[in-house]
Structure 1
Amino acid sequence: MSNSRTGRWFVNQPPVRDAVTQLVCLPHAGSGAATYRDWQSRLGTSAEVIAPQLPGRDGRFREPPAASTREVVEALVEPLLTRLDTPDRTQGSGPAGSRSPRPFALFGHSMGALLSYELAHELVRRGRPPTHLFVSGYSAPHLPRRPGRPVVHELPDTELVAHITALEGTNGAVLEHPELLELLLPVIRADYKVCETYRYRERPPLPFPITALGGDSDPEVPEKDLHAWGDLTSEELVVKVFTGGHFYLHSRFGEVMDALRTSLTRTDRLTGGTCI
């Protein structure tokens, strides 16, 4: 996938032709497409994993990170639609050679959950909605900011490092090397600013189910904040809580993959309000 509309965003991500659906995965603060490098092998043909490479990371280090969710969505949506709708297999029983795009879902962890939510609204507006939204490790965006929570993007470097270290989501080797840390911190700071300057806009609820995932000891996202995602869909909400903290999906990787595979391949309707 290297044409001009998709090249920067989806480098070395060829289509998985036998996949039942597509799963677009957006990263947490400071991370990139490589976060999802092991997902395809675990999900197999239940989903083709599509992980956009955001500016400021991966092979796009020379580009400045985005300053807002709107900036990300406006830049990503056209390349994403091109990538999603690239015909790679014949579907249905229409005339020979007729092709229709496969269904797709969105997944995002932490900052990626917020980006996925905003992207979902834009895709609805364009008449190409996903079938499902998976949000992980992020409070429903219409909730007020909790009192006393620090403004992370304004913290001094030492406090910012302490914050991300406590969340246990960044490779310890990176944090111990000043040269790598010098490259990473501006991206993390910019990503936190995207989240912390976000302003929720009232819109109709999303017309497809949401699954909210989280860790039972996440200091950032209490379980009740996951249930609040139900306010943002006209369909069912499923809440899945795993043992672990903010980055439970690392320590419970196999369980998360099993849960996603099950949700992506189900044909029956989800049961609203379930907590697993």
Structure 2
Amino acid sequence: MTGRWIRTLGTAAADAPRLLCLPHAGGTAGFFRPLAGELAARGTAEVLAVQYPGRQDRLAEPAFTSLHDCADALHAALAREVPDAAGRPLVLFGHSMGAVLAFELALRLEASGGPGPAAVVVSGRRAPSVHREETPPGDDELLGDIRAMHGTDARVLESPELLRLVLPALRADVRAALTHRPDPRAVVAAPLAAFTGASDPTTTVADATAWRAHTEGPFTLRVFAGHHFYLGDRVTGPAAALEEILEDTVRHRTNMAAPEAVRP
């Protein structure tokens, strides 16, 4: 599956659940390749990832400056590029800005009357009810933050030519994320899990725990060793946690499909 928005990073059995990964500001679908490789080795799920406009093979398209608009476009793209989505459980996994989009996409899927996500996993992002007033930084401050968080290959940051290619999308993404105004009372029906790095300077454990108020279903919190980009350090732990969530969706589907016991 290779659409404009949705890319396949790992395959699995035809009835396996799908994991749709949404990257951070300035990120690409390829950020999730190590995670996809780990899950592929386990045969747990088909791993898909979102490629936002304004980068790599979508460089000619303008990046979104509104996460609401981006979520609307992604919702339409998911229906268009994954036409058989109703037949398999779909788990959304978003990191940082991608966590916001995963939650917004879940709200749209549930409101549309079709099948909603089987679970939502938000990583490295505070809950919608935790608001901080932030101003989009200038380029020097932005690049300093990116260097400090180790979120971009140092070779890109040291190359003026590559920086000219990646900076427009990074600027737009960061502006979209910092100016996004979510509904602080919004809730999804799906189970929700929050992941965070123990040393993440942008998302405290309390920030992540606040996601509990944004689901009508079960809530779980997982704290991993590492900083904001803990996924780039040790993918095994997060992969195992995601595997548990994916297996829960399979068990739930099996239980729902099982005929009720006949009373004697």
**TM-score category of the 2 structures, normalised to the smaller one:** 0.7 to 0.9
Structure-2 residue corresponding to 1:109: 95
- Asked if 1:82 is matched to 2:80, the reply is yes
Q: Which of 197, 215, 228 is 1:215 aligned to? A: 197
Structure-2 residue corresponding to 1:233: 215
What amino acid maps onto 2:102 in structure 1?
S
- Asked if 1:163 is matched to 2:145, the reply is yes
Conserved in 2, the CA contact under 8 Å of 1:214 and 1:246?
yes
Conserved in 2, the CA contact under 8 Å of 1:26 and 1:51?
yes
Structure 2 CA distance for aligned equivalents of residues 205 and 57 of structure 1: 31
- Deviation sequence 1:1-58 (CA, Å, 0-9, x none): 46xxxx3123566864435200111110101111122333311231111112110013
Structure-1 residue corresponding to 2:20: 24
- Deviation sequence 1:64-112 (CA, Å, 0-9, x none): 101111211221212212343338xxxxxxxxxxxx6111110000000
Conserved in 1, the CA contact under 8 Å of 2:22 and 2:101?
yes
- Asked if 1:175 is matched to 2:157, the reply is yes
Conserved in 2, the CA contact under 8 Å of 1:24 and 1:106?
yes
How much does 1:252 deviate? 1.7
Structure 2 CA distance for aligned equivalents of residues 43 and 19 of structure 1: 15
Structure-1 residue corresponding to 2:257: none
The structure, 1 or 2, with the larger RCO (C-alpha pairs under 8 Å, 6+ apart) is 2
- Deviation sequence 1:198-217 (CA, Å, 0-9, x none): 11225552111111001111
What amino acid maps onto 2:215 in structure 1?
T
- Asked if 1:143 is matched to 2:133, the reply is no
SS at match of 1:46: coil
Structure 2 CA distance for aligned equivalents of residues 167 and 182 of structure 1: 20
SS at match of 2:194: strand
Tell me which moved more, 211-220 or 155-164: 155-164
SS at match of 1:37: helix
Q: Which of 14, 19, 32 is 1:36 aligned to? A: 32
What amino acid maps onto 1:232 in structure 2?
H
Structure having the larger proportion of residues in helix: 2
- Deviation sequence 1:159-211 (CA, Å, 0-9, x none): 21111111111111111111111211221111111111111225552111111
Conserved in 2, the CA contact under 8 Å of 1:19 and 1:48?
no
- Asked if 1:264 is matched to 2:246, the reply is yes
Structure 1 CA distance for aligned equivalents of residues 102 and 7 of structure 2: 20
Where do 1:124-135 residues align within 5 Å?
A: 124-127=110-113, 128-135=115-122
Structure 2 CA distance for aligned equivalents of residues 124 and 182 of structure 1: 39
Tell me which moved more, 234-243 or 32-41: 32-41
Alignment root-mean-square deviation, CA: 2.1
What amino acid maps onto 2:155 in structure 1?
A
Tell me which moved more, 17-26 or 110-119: 17-26
SS at match of 1:115: helix
What amino acid maps onto 1:117 in structure 2?
F
Q: Which runs of 5+ in 1 are unaligned?
A: 88-99, 270-276
Where do 1:184-203 residues align within 5 Å?
A: 184-201=166-183
SS at match of 2:105: helix
Equivalences, count: 248
Query: With structure 1 as the length reference, what TM-score do the two structures score?
Result: 0.83
Structure 1 CA distance for aligned equivalents of residues 126 and 197 of structure 2: 12
Conserved in 2, the CA contact under 8 Å of 1:85 and 1:101?
no
Conserved in 2, the CA contact under 8 Å of 1:212 and 1:229?
yes
Decide whether aligned partners of structure 1 residues 28 and 19 sit closer, same or farther in structure 2, where only a CA change above 3 A counts. Answer: farther
Conserved in 2, the CA contact under 8 Å of 1:110 and 1:136?
yes
What amino acid maps onto 2:109 in structure 1?
L
Structure 2 CA distance for aligned equivalents of residues 208 and 163 of structure 1: 33
What amino acid maps onto 1:121 in structure 2?
L
